[in-house]
Structure 1
Amino acid sequence: MPLTFTLDPAVTPALRDGILDLWTDVTNAGGAVGFVAPVTREEVRPEVVRHLVQMAEGRTRLLVGHDEAGQVAATAFLTLNTHRLMTHWLWLYTVMVHPEHQGMGYGRDLLTAAADAARTFDEIEAIRLSCRGGLGLERFYTSCGYQEVGRIPGAIRVASGDDRDDVHMLLPLT
């Protein structure tokens, strides 16, 4: 059964807690979403709050996917670029699909929904994201139409002696 995607849902305690649970579960399953496993909900909570504050300030918009049970199963945060010379593209952050839903095409569906959402923004011509190298994520994003446009070797330190590339990807929308 496909996910149901909503752009700019009402932020309720259930949504907030669903995002928190999703982020924690994705991280603890090995997902590259800003943390290294193991994490607790309390370690992730400040990042969720930071994203929600950016939403309240109008700088970030949330795309959420709910499963058939109504649970938060996927997210992507679309963040407008505030640099006056770069307002024609936006950032895609915290792209997550719950581990129990992975391998079902939901990641591809999420990226399609994110591109559709970005096309509704005034004057947005591209989506940019970065991902942690060494996990094959750039292959996945390439298969979804993104192109690698930059790589900073060793920019992400996940552990002592374990540095990963910061891979920059771009999806033109026009």
Structure 2
Amino acid sequence: MSADSLELHRATCPDDVDPRLRQALIDCWVDVTNAGGAAGFPFPPIDAQQAAPALDAIIANLAPETCRLILAMEDGELAGWLNTRRDTFALIAHWGTLHHVQTHPRVRARGIGIALMERARQVARDEMRLEHLHLAARGGVGLERFYGRLGWKEIGRWPDALRLAPGDDRDEILMVLQPL
């Protein structure tokens, strides 16, 4: 990947997601999940009929202050994406949560995930005025090391909280990025 070929965009309202982008997001989610990615669907294989309603719910909730997509585009094609959300309840409105962090399998290990995470941090701080971010990661796949290299700290675990298959229970790892 060259720095010139990667573009990072935001979708802040449902109208920002046209049918072509919607399909690319669905396809990415399906491909990431079916390649073993921990992006919200624990039981692969999945198909577009399963991913579409989950994506449509995210798109319907897009709003500049509370819910955004960060999109990584390489040479005009979707390379990865994530969802940043915040709750407006006064006690917790100062922090947000990252969901569905994913890089398409065809472009892994090229810095796209790092670029997405760095942009999410910048958008959360400068545009959404958040003070810190949270995320939950699936244990057993090295995600805590990836996020740790980017400044995230593990703040707890729910042991064996995720049952992927009989005999395959994984910790859910709670992480925070603070300050932004």
TM-score by length of 1: 0.93
Q: Give, in whole Å, the separation in 2 of the partners of 1:57 and 1:107.
A: 22
* 1:93 corresponding residue in structure 2: 99
Indicate whether 1:102 and 2:108 are aligned.
yes
Residue 56 of structure 1, CA deviation: 5.5
2:170 aligned residue (151, 164, 167): 164
Q: Residue by residue, what CA displacement relative to the aligned partner does 1:26-54 show, whole Å, maximum 9, x if unpaired?
A: 00111001112211111111111111112
**Contact 1:115-1:173 at 8 Å conserved across structures:** no
Indicate whether 1:23 and 2:34 are aligned.
no
* 2:55 corresponding residue in structure 1: 48
Distance 1:89 1:56, change over 3 A: closer
Indicate whether 1:113 and 2:119 are aligned.
yes
Indicate whether 1:78 and 2:84 are aligned.
yes
Count of matched residue pairs: 173
- Quick one: which amino acid aligns to residue 109 of structure 1? A
* 1:62 corresponding residue in structure 2: 69
2:141 aligned residue (118, 135, 138): 135
For structure 1, list consecutive stretches of 5 or more residues without a partner in the other structure. none
TM-score by length of 2: 0.90
Residue 159 of structure 1, CA deviation: 1.4
Which secondary structure does the structure 2 equivalent of 1:55 belong to? Answer: coil
Distance 1:122 1:78, change over 3 A: closer
Q: Provide the identity percentage.
A: 37
Residue 165 of structure 1, CA deviation: 0.7
Kindly report structure 1 stretches of 4+ aligned residues shifted beyond 6 Å: none
**Contact 2:65-2:128 at 8 Å conserved across structures:** no
For structure 2, list consecutive stretches of 5 or more residues without a partner in the other structure. none
Q: Give, in whole Å, the separation in 1 of the partners of 2:128 and 2:22.
A: 27
2:10 aligned residue (7, 15, 23): 7
Q: Give, in whole Å, the separation in 2 of the partners of 1:94 and 1:75.
A: 8
Q: Residue by residue, what CA displacement relative to the aligned partner does 1:52-71 show, whole Å, maximum 9, x if unpaired?
A: 11215963111111111x11
Q: Give, in whole Å, the separation in 1 of the partners of 2:58 and 2:128.
A: 22
**Contact 1:131-1:166 at 8 Å conserved across structures:** yes
Q: Give, in whole Å, the separation in 1 of the partners of 2:68 and 2:107.
A: 23
Residue 122 of structure 1, CA deviation: 4.7
